[in-house]
Structure 1
Amino acid sequence: MRTLVHLSDLHFGRVDAGLLAPLRELIHQLAPDVVVVSGDLTQRAKSEQFEEARAWLDTLPGPQIIVPGNHDISLYNVFRRFFLPLTRYKRYITDDLDPMYVDEEIAVLGVNTARSLTFKDGRVNKEQIETIRAQLAGLGPDVVRIIVTHHPFDLPSSNDEDDLVDRAPMAMKAFADCGVDLLLAGHMHASHAGNTQQRYQISEYAALVVQAGTATSTRGRGEVNSFNVVRVESERIEVDRYGWDDIGKAFSLVKTEPFLRKGNVWSAHTEGLYATGI
């Protein structure tokens, strides 16, 4: 089994500073094999915000797979937005926009969906898809294949389809060919877990989609600050959602959702489902 801590939408520059130490301490207690951060590390892509984000990330265990979000591209500086869109991100966070971690049980691939030509939307292109194909080529059948993006490939039907990453159908066909199991994303500041079967209807294939809320931002959009712990086995994945308890001043387990794989289809497994409130 491998354990991933899945953080998203940190938004340094607009964080609740009281959450940083408890979150860091809990992550160390969880002892993850990989820490995943699915974008929007900053609020406005300023140098000091990236510096704060980098300093905090340096207090977390590794390895870390980090991708940028739309907030990590300058909004108001037009020259920087269009000609130097991720220069500060690459300077302070990582210059690798296609990060990858592989061991005998998991392959975790980061994919940059942030684009300067749009304020909040994201997209993938053919070159990125071919990179993913190459990175996953030759892996054993028991290796769980995980893609990390900021913008989601799937959402509940109640959400606006405009929030999905552009060219998602093209990407999903490639993911089916490559046997991608799990898609981790953020962007919406809302937690969600489900599979892709209804939206994409690819024969004998459905990936598991796990959406993280905002771990530290003051912009909760009606949901408490939260993050995910994803426990991965070749035939079973459990998603633990941790939410901020303002009374106890700590993150606590809110819900555990188990999913099982049959062939290349991941689906919810309700037996033994655990939930509590905060």
Structure 2
Amino acid sequence: MTRLFHVSDVHFGREDREAIDWFGRKVKEEQPDAVIMTGDLTMRARASEFAAASKWLESLGRPVTVEVGNHDLPYFNLWARFVTPYKRYKALEHMIEKPLDVKGIAVVPLKTTARFQLRLNWAKGYVSTRSLQESLALVEAVPQGDLIFIAAHHPLIEAGTRATSHTRHGPEALAALATAGAHAVLTGHVHDPFDIAHEVGGRTVRLIGAGTLSERVRDKPPSFNEIRVEGSSFETVARFKGEGSVAL
């Protein structure tokens, strides 16, 4: 069995220290095959927050891929947001949007953040044509028979959680990825876990969301997902700090 730990929305600067340490212990004890981090490593994209996030991710000692979340782009410094939005990510460059190939599973990144949008709330999701085409090219290169998991920050469509993503071009991206062969889309942003089977284009795609390891909890306590893969089938188990596990 292959095991992936899917974690999101750690929000260094507002992290739950006990939850962070708990997750680190579980990684060391159980040695998952990879860790998929679907964005919002930081709270305000400050250098000190990225430094803490980098130290934490490096300490896990497992293959890691990291998506960029809306909180990881400078918010108050517009010059940095538009001109050098990823400058403070430098220590994490080797993890950012890194495709992973883990025992017959391809993890393909999809960028859903934008420096600017023609709406007031730039925290919501946005899939550009370029980002989608880059992801589709990676999907096309996956060996036949492998599972394909897309890793993004924002849910491409709403999942019935209290928080929303309102991802522009998300439904179209989901349809294109499903047609190309994606089996699941792993996301964060809404701070509550879910695993929903969604029919699109005659195929079933699983929409899997991770909770948060921050103080900014919504309906559920701090958690991460464990994705257990056996051959071509897989299941998601939400693991809650201090409250056990629940199959989604």
What's the TM-score once normalised by structure 1's chain length? 0.82
Aligned partner of 2:238 in structure 1 is 241
Aligned partner of 1:59 in structure 2 is 59
1:29 aligns with 2:47: no
Per-residue Cα deviation, 1:60-90 (whole angstroms, up to 9, x for no partner): 132101111000011111211222222212x
SS in 1 for 2:226: strand
Q: Is the 8 A contact 1:99 1:111 kept in 2?
A: no
Structure-1 separation of matches of 2:65 and 2:34 = 7
In the alignment, structure 2 segments of 5+ residues that lack a partner are none
Structure-2 separation of matches of 1:176 and 1:110 = 14
Shift of 1:141: 3.3
1:175 aligns with 2:198: no
Aligned partner of 2:100 in structure 1 is 101
Aligned partner of 2:206 in structure 1 is 208
Structure-2 separation of matches of 1:132 and 1:222 = 32
Q: Is the 8 A contact 1:39 1:149 kept in 2?
A: yes
Shift of 1:92: 2.5
Q: Which amino acid aligns with 2:139?
A: L
Q: Structure 1 vs Structure 2: percent identity of aligned residues?
A: 28
Q: Is the 8 A contact 1:154 1:196 kept in 2?
A: no
SS in 2 for 1:59: helix
Q: Is the 8 A contact 2:66 2:97 kept in 1?
A: no
In the alignment, structure 1 segments of 5+ residues that lack a partner are 246-251, 258-278
Shift of 1:29: 1.9
Structure-2 separation of matches of 1:19 and 1:129 = 33
Structure-2 separation of matches of 1:94 and 1:5 = 20
Kindly report structure 1 stretches of 4+ aligned residues shifted beyond 6 Å: none
- In structure 2, relative to structure 1, the CA distance for the partners of 1:225 and 1:168 (3 Å cut) is same
- RMSD value, Cα: 1.9
Q: Is the 8 A contact 2:13 2:43 kept in 1?
A: yes
- In structure 2, relative to structure 1, the CA distance for the partners of 1:159 and 1:234 (3 Å cut) is farther
1:133 aligns with 2:132: no
Aligned partner of 1:269 in structure 2 is none
Q: Is the 8 A contact 1:97 1:111 kept in 2?
A: no
Aligned partner of 1:218 in structure 2 is 215
- When Rg is computed on C-alpha atoms for both structures, the one with the higher figure is 1
Q: Which amino acid aligns with 2:47?
A: S
Q: How does 1:1-278 map to 2 (within 5 A)?
A: 1-89=1-89, 91-94=90-93, 97-118=96-117, 119-157=122-160, 163-197=165-199, 201-202=200-201, 204-215=202-213, 217-245=214-242, 253-257=244-248
Q: Is the 8 A contact 2:162 2:218 kept in 1?
A: no
Shift of 1:24: 0.5
Aligned partner of 1:266 in structure 2 is none
Q: Which amino acid aligns with 1:30?
A: E
Q: Is the 8 A contact 2:38 2:69 kept in 1?
A: yes
Aligned residues: 244
